Structure 1
Amino acid sequence: AAKVPAPEALPYVDPRINYSSLLKPGFHLTAPYGWMNDPNGMFQGPGGVYHAFFQWNPFKAVWGPPW
């Protein structure tokens, strides 16, 4: 299995998915659930930590107000 760089992300890692598959990109922004769009603002901050911002609706798998 591939290494998980952020231990706090473990609750969102689906054990049924082969994250080391040759068909899966080495890096891919994926929401833990719901719908995400428009990844932007990616940068490397102080201390080498990478950040990425995106729109996310955790309540629906489609675009719309998150309520």
Structure 2
Amino acid sequence: FPVDTNVGRIAVRLGWVPLQPLPESLQLHLLELYPVLESIQKYLWPRLCKLDQRTLYELHYQMITFG
């Protein structure tokens, strides 16, 4: 689903999800070593709940615009 992909990508760019860049030699099947979606949501949810409505809207806008 495109929105989930974009949200994940932006969350990583903002440093909210601590992922390291993949080395050039890393095979795609090793990506399963990265956190599962549930752990990412568990990490992000309390942080997003603390944001005010204006900040959430701006974040939403940025995710759609820059995906």
TM range (shorter): under 0.3
Flag the structure with more relative contact order, 1 or 2, with Cα contacts below 8 A and sequence separation at least 6: 2
Q: Which has the higher helix share?
A: 2
- TM-score normalised over the length of structure 1: 0.25
Q: Which has the higher strand share?
A: 1
